[in-house]
Structure 1
């Protein structure tokens, strides 16, 4: 009889013969927990779910679909076989079979027929061997952990010596280390650009403690001066970054440790800024190592929120405002987003007492990673192919609840749903080869939209894609957001390995613009079709449009108008005009806003259309009915020819809505058209600095020249679909739709930089600069503009104070 430790071992028996499975189960079930699978596909499904709970696999070779060698290939690819031993039990006596099995990593090979005693002993011996290996591995991990902890402790002691000499509280080093770790953990969830491992995060956060080690050579009188430093004293202080780097370079020459590499980067470059205006080397953007970038941001935040000999501590809110407004220099926009996303965690972690829990968690994860890398350093890195990292899955799926969540393993071709998702969709939690599955709950068109979005938008740098769709999931059609995160291997040339997905009900938020009494689904389809049929006797095209996403719900055309019929077959209302996105002057949006009727002329190719958009309610829900008339007989042209008429219309619109000096839209356009737009993601307000002074000193001709140059600089940075408006004087407004938040803030930085580089040949002495305030996700536009205006003046004041 085996001991109690073996009693709890779990064995997976894989054989397509039920008799063989029952026979082995009868032999072993008294001493072990038994799980069985009738073929390789079932075995892989079980292993994928329970790989850390399976202690041993008893595997047959000849099976339908996926055979024993197929199972072994997958287990080897994912390194499962390193921790879960496999014993082959087969009647195949061919040397080629036996050799191949051992090459794929099996522990033992037992031929049929077999003896019960032999099975028991070989199973017992294999489990005993692997338990001993796990104990040795655990001991090794403990040694590495203690060694890393001791190293970290010595670095903290050294860093605190510098800190106390600098007259600081003793918490600065701890805060920098803590905040660096928090920011880096958030960073790796947002992007794979920097390829950081847990060990890298530990190295960087530990090395960040040494960021100011160079101050050990700075005179105490300068270091702890309570008042403002003179220019000469500030230059002395600035030398600490180079001094610290040189101290570490000397150590690196005698001890080649990765920690010194990170510490050197941090010491030398933690005062560099993303726009190139830092010191000592003036590095810019990604020229600055990420270790120095993140330590720099952490250092500035803690300096602002801590008491110093020369200032009182600012509040968290004030510090965030100063950093995000650029008052402390330029930082990586992605790191600024990380800082915003981590606000609650930062406030929770920062306290007067030092809590080492976060450090210990990070150290334990890094220790496991170090040991794993050490053990597998002489093998091919099959873990690079592991499709779904536990951390990614946890962070992605834990963000929200009451939603459909799924993952697709492209290597195994397996679809896995959460219990809730499987219940809602009426599917199995685990499905092999899901491509043949009926996708009635999403529909073929929606599935194709998702695939197209993944192919066109998803990448290693931008793995997350979001799509909004009107879907019927076992009930009325509702609005859902489908979030897809593509997964990639860790190889030098990463490969696509699968996706994580969430289907989130956003119906209430999408229809927030609709009064509650209107939130009723459509059920009068027959009446709608009849109404459209009658109207097409008068109009060329009649369409019922859901204005929340410009989707055509129902449409009809006058018989014989095949050209327009074909144009109407797109699922978006703007497709008929040959456009790929919402019309800037959307007449249906205006009808929706006014709860009434609005008309306009639209030009497509050489044709002129009159559009009448009328707000309607169907079963309580709001829609817009579009009635379109094509001018075939010159009725709309009157006495004009087509070309003259269109030229006059274009010229009139240009005079009415465009600024004559800069070519941008004017305030009239903002008041009549832009202010009512409801689908603008981002708004920026821009003001040329010292414009009045330039006008007064150089004259209005110079001012006009400057305004035109500013406008051209902005246009060079934005897309053709973005809307640039000159409100008046030197004030510009920028409206942007369908743009990610990070990209928007990068654009603001780019515009500001481009304006600062303006050179006016006729006025070489004029130096140009601009203040910009930008906001994302605020509706309506008037509210967004108010906030952007406030941020712009903060930026302007910060520029003045920085002079």
Structure 2
């Protein structure tokens, strides 16, 4: 059985030798003769250690400085620290405990006491961590449910704004990254790990007030007039008011309090030129400051109905040059320092978290829908197994059979889309059918990431997909189709990055029979294929539009 590993940090070789003599039979002991060496060692191998014995009086970096560093970066989440010193004054002992030390042993050492104190510390620390893990698991389950409800609510706002839920996920991610780096960089904002989680979760509601803004203004493709911009600006105060009008007992909850601050003040600016209250500097709560920066960064790097997306580097330059308002200088430094991490994390969010989350949820809903159908028709188990044939085995979306039997003759849809992969035969011929299958799987995931759970994605033919929409405004329909086209065009197949993918998209919008709308959408798709990588839509009450 491997021995537990202990790090002894003391500038006195004699003291280290004495402790090693006491402990080496029971533990694997490692030495460091100063604080800097200890920090260097822990930065590389801290997960190996169960306990640190740390002297106070050392040159260059004393024990309290080491303990402060350990506490700041939460390294003591994985090991306990016992301070060792000849100075057992109450002030030193209190300071050690305040900085996160688990115990304090005074010199000269008594071997029996040292062994017993270390053994007790190991036991109590392990027990404490076990209890914390149980509580943490319970908290995480509740937190997961809270995040789910907030995500649903925020996705409603995103849908009204003609976008997928990526903006919410991005703001969550950027907020958390900035906060984690902020607490490492400065003690000015004493935020705990639970504070960071709370603020990141609450950031999902930053634009909840937009639910009150009319579609004509919210989804206007061109520049807003001065009057329209004044209307848009009201969303921050309205969002805060909505939260503060919850029942009194809910208003007092930390999540509601932080979310209302973020809602109201995430458009304030550090120089006082923001809205709605013109707050300046740290009059703006740090949660709102961080979400403001996250919101601006993602708005710049995302495509909107009124603008193209800027690159990561362009967005950073615009923010740092003050083109998007004035932000806290410390937060701007944090943004610069996490720039590379940020860019990679957001790529993972876009094609990882959201796609996987939405796909998993949609799969459950899809099967629930099939199960509901079985309940009404009292299908046998064997017949139920046959129903699974409605799912395309390659892409995990519905197949042509499901469309033919359940959708073709329905009349309550508002949008039908036909999507065809450009030059798919060339991809199969040049790269082989196995790689072609991977391309289709990635395209299906991308389409799923752009639609709602109530919409239906179907693999209609070899490289052709159909999407059925219900109750979707014309502008949102148009934006979603363009977003699908754009994301597929940007798609990078991890295994084969050299493969370039694009699609031609045809859409029909307006209440009507699916069969008739399909024919119109199919015709629009073939028009789009004349130039490829295009979206063509026919609104049933309007002429065909080239987006």
- State TM-score, norm by structure 1: 0.33
Which one has more relative contact order, counting CA pairs under 8 Å at least 6 apart?
Answer: 2
- State TM-score, norm by structure 2: 0.46
Q: Greater Rg, structure 1 or structure 2?
A: 1
Name the structure where strand makes up a greater proportion of residues: 1
Name the structure where helix makes up a greater proportion of residues: 2
